[in-house]
Amino acid sequence: MAQPADEVAGNSGPLHLLKMAVGVGSLDELRQARAARIEQHGGSWVYTRNHPRRADTVLADDPFLTTRHVWRGRPLIRVVFDWRVRVTPEARVFSTLHDGPVIMAVGQAAADERPDAVHRLRLAGADVVVFERRAVGPVLDFLGTRDVNSLLVEGGPRLHDAFFGARLVDRVQRVRTRHVLETGVRAAAGFEASREPAGTRGRMLGEDLLVEWDVHGID
């Protein structure tokens, strides 16, 4: 049985929170509506933690990954898992370095094959860190050396599954919208395996419902 999340955060490194949004429009409509409503009603909740993202999400959405309506005493660290060095220096996140550093986790093989791409990312201001193997554990170990004590994982299903597979999920945050999706991607399988406990309470973020619960049995 895992420790409560607040104890895990204090004793075993960063607290890892996985966030997902689910709908019942199109995926683009959901993204636009979700961004508008959460920025208006829940910005102080959702954008206060350090952000890891997969390169797929950065390439598809080109997000700024900045804070919303909240003051931070420490810089916001953005982490992009880009094992194949596919993100380009033109990504909008590099225009926000005044908000905090952008760490690019890249694979050793890709860095060796594409040194020019790595160099361009560093010129754009990225803190490129090369890892020998594609695994989230070593990246989190590295972030621990940077005094990171909590992570909000906003990846797609592959990054979420990587965290679930490595048994590194401390808490799940699920945002439910009333928008009906015509297309989209399936949630990570780990969300089904880690079902919300009976009686879990939620709170409204505008028209969206936030439900969150601690994940036990991960260690």
Determine the pLDDT at residue 35.
Answer: 39
Half-sphere exposure of 78 (CA within 13 A, CB side): 28
Of the ranges 8-12, 58-62, 87-91, 200-204, which is most confident?
87-91
- Give the DSSP letter string of 106-171: EEHHHHHH-HHHHHHHHHTT-EEEEESS--HHHHHHHHHTTT--EEEE---HHHHHHHHHTT---E
Residue 77 region, left (φ>0) first, then alpha (ψ -120 to 50), else beta?
Answer: beta
Q: What is the mean pLDDT of residues 45-74?
A: 69
Of the ranges 2-6, 107-111, 177-181, which is most confident?
107-111
CB of 158 closer than 8 Å to CB of 23 = no
Residue 47 above 60 pLDDT? no
Residue 109 above 70 pLDDT? yes
**Average pLDDT over the chain, rounded to whole?**
77
Domains of the chain and CATH, by start: 1-50+151-219 (no CATH), 52-147 (3.40.430.10)
Q: Give the least confident one: 39-48, 103-112, 131-140.
A: 39-48
Per-residue model confidence as pLDDT tens digits over 123-150: 999 999 999 999 999 999 999 998 888 8
pTM of the prediction?
A: 0.76
Compare 87 and 9 and report the one with higher pLDDT. Answer: 87
Q: What is the mean pLDDT of residues 31-59?
A: 50
Half-sphere exposure of 40 (CA within 13 A, CB side): 10
Q: Predicted confidence band at 25 (pLDDT cuts at 50, 70, 90)?
A: very low
Residue 37 above 80 pLDDT? no
Q: Predicted confidence band at 104 (pLDDT cuts at 50, 70, 90)?
A: very high
